[in-house]
Structure 1
Amino acid sequence: MSKRQGHGGGQNALNVPNVLSMLRVAGVPIFLWAILTEQDVLALLVLMGSGITDYLDGKIARHYGLVTTLGQYLDPIADRLYIASTLFGLAWRDIIPWWLVALLVARDAFILGMYPAVRSYGLPVPPVHFIGKAATFNLIYAFPLLLLGSFDSWLGTVALPVGWAFAWWGTGLYWLGGLLYAWQVSDMLGQRRRQWQAVDA
């Protein structure tokens, strides 16, 4: 979630929130190795740690004003790497179906397809809204629960339906956020065209 909005690009880039984001990025290859080699306890711990640090970096950045330009880029990049690696790893192990991966990847491709228009019109990137943050939150907490749900234990039996509930809510909100993003871009494009028409007139 791009939680670090506001000023502070000149602050020390190696502050606590940014270090937490870097740790999340560093955990991606560890998770992939663990899930692909069926080291499920380690994979679960990495997933849980990533979810906790994702919450903490935004909380600390907002509370203490530790907002940096690096953090505004690093945090969503860490989220995307985390989600992508987890989707791949869980699908490879048949813990989630590949069509769910395709559904979430298609949403990101949908968003990416708007980039040329945004760039050609010199528009700013629309701000991240609450629905997008909620979608990422749901997905981030769905993944460790789904992995835990693959364990042959009473805990796995309890975790599996809860994990799928988070996954379905996250997927729905992910696409709803994408559609809202498209609406924002469309509105911005319309305003920019009207501005140019007014200048030409």
Structure 2
Amino acid sequence: MTLPNLITIGRLILVPLVILMIVNQRWQAAFALFVIAGISDALDGILARRFGMASELGGYLDPIADKALIVSIYITLAMVGVIPVWLVILVVSRDLMIVSAVILSWVMAKPLVMAPFLVSKLNTAAQVIFAALVLGSAAFGVDPGPARELGQLAVAILTLGSMAAYLAFWLRHMAA
């Protein structure tokens, strides 16, 4: 087991803790754990690349940990009434669509290797920044003002753009 994989597993372990903090409205703890998870995500990637510790397991674990954290936080924030449900439905639907497309491709004996598109990377960045904005504003009692609506809009637009890009890619792959 490599050090980057252990760090990624640690990030997975943080997910239920962040959720628990949000549910109990312990916003500072939730924000701190979210920041730690973000730092661990950067750290495991740097260690894997710089010191040749990349592994097949890490290639699977890292995106699972990332999605587990983001999706869990978005669902929980909606459950406690901090972000709108429609945004969570959009974020979760995109991820379900991608996973379903990959599984269907395997089932139909047309395996698909998914690589992130630029719009997908921008989408992930917007999702993380918006979650940090929401958690940070709750943690420190700061009104984010129009940044909240702009962040929400950015997440929605980029999520839809990412969905469209992956769907088009998948449809071309399946038609080939």
Under TM normalisation by the shorter chain, which class is it? 0.7 to 0.9
Match of 1:9 in 2: none
Alignment partner of 2:161 out of 176, 185, 198: 176
Deviation for aligned residue 1:79: 1.0
Q: Structure 1 residue 147 and structure 2 residue 135: aligned?
A: yes
**d(CA) in 2 for partners of 1:72, 1:87:** 24
Q: What is the identity percentage for the equivalent residue pairs of Structure 1 and Structure 2?
A: 27
**d(CA) in 2 for partners of 1:112, 1:63:** 29
Q: TM-score, normalising length from structure 1? A: 0.77
Q: TM-score, normalising length from structure 2? A: 0.86
- Per-residue deviation, residues 1-44 of structure 1 (Å, max 9, x unmatched): xxxxxxxxxxxx322x2222112101011111111112111111
**d(CA) in 1 for partners of 2:59, 2:66:** 12
Match of 2:23 in 1: 36
Q: Which has the higher contact order (CA 8 A, sep 6+)?
A: 2
SS in 1 for 2:115: coil
RMSD: 2.1
Match of 1:127 in 2: 115
Q: Structure 1 residue 85 and structure 2 residue 72: aligned?
A: yes
CA contact (8 A) 1:121 1:189 kept: no
CA contact (8 A) 2:77 2:83 kept: yes
Question: Is there any run of 5+ residues in structure 1 with no aligned partner, and where?
Answer: 1-12, 192-201
Question: Is there any run of 5+ residues in structure 2 with no aligned partner, and where?
Answer: none
Question: Based on CA coordinates, which of the two structures has the bigger radius of gyration?
Answer: 1
CA change 1:32–1:117 in 2 (3 A) is closer
Deviation for aligned residue 1:71: 0.7
